[in-house]
Homo-oligomer: A and B are copies of this chain.
Amino acid sequence: MEKRVNQIKQQLSAQNYKLTPQREATVRVLLENEEDHLSAEDVYLLVKEKAPEIGLATVYRTLELLSDLQIIHKLNFGDGVTRYEFRAEGAEHHHHHLYCLNCGSVDEIMEDLLGPIEKQVESEYNFQIVDHRLTFHGICKRCRGKVEDPKKLYSIKLS
């Protein structure tokens, strides 16, 4: 944890940015909730607990900064809010998401399932791939059995 905070501090100063207390608090919240895919509002509420004077705009600015520096990633599941997650440490390690239509949870698939497919797409469509987003929408293991008609949920909830 301290190690990662420090690492980020260095990434910031390498570009002449400082790890101010607000930024540090934000980073720590993100690290502490790494598996949660928080929205800006989520982050704001959590950061306020440790730094009550912080403004929402600062949180947005910090998230934008971290995103520009490719320290975090913005995610969109179509429910109207942007969520954030840490980038995989090793540059090219992609992963995917499982978005539950019932409870809104987001789980991760930590393996990259698309390696061969990317190659196929690059050559077949003459498209230079920089990244991809793969999300499966459905019912998570915790909601299994609770939902009668997943397709219906789907049409209601999804964008």
Residue numbers of A with Cβ under 8 A of B are 67-70, 74-78, 82, 98, 101, 107, 109, 113-114, 117-118, 120-121, 125-141, 144, 150-151, 153-156, 158-159
Contact = CB atoms under 8 A, between A and B. Distances in A.
Max chain B CB contacts within 10 Å: which of A136, A153, A154? A136
Contacts of A69: 155
A131 B154 contact: yes
Contacts of A67: 155
Given A131-B154, A133-B137, 20 more contacts: A68-B156, A69-B155, A74-B78, A75-B159, A76-B76, A76-B78, A78-B82, A78-B133, A98-B125, A98-B127, A113-B117, A125-B141, A127-B140, A128-B144, A130-B138, A130-B154, A131-B136, A131-B138, A132-B135, A133-B135
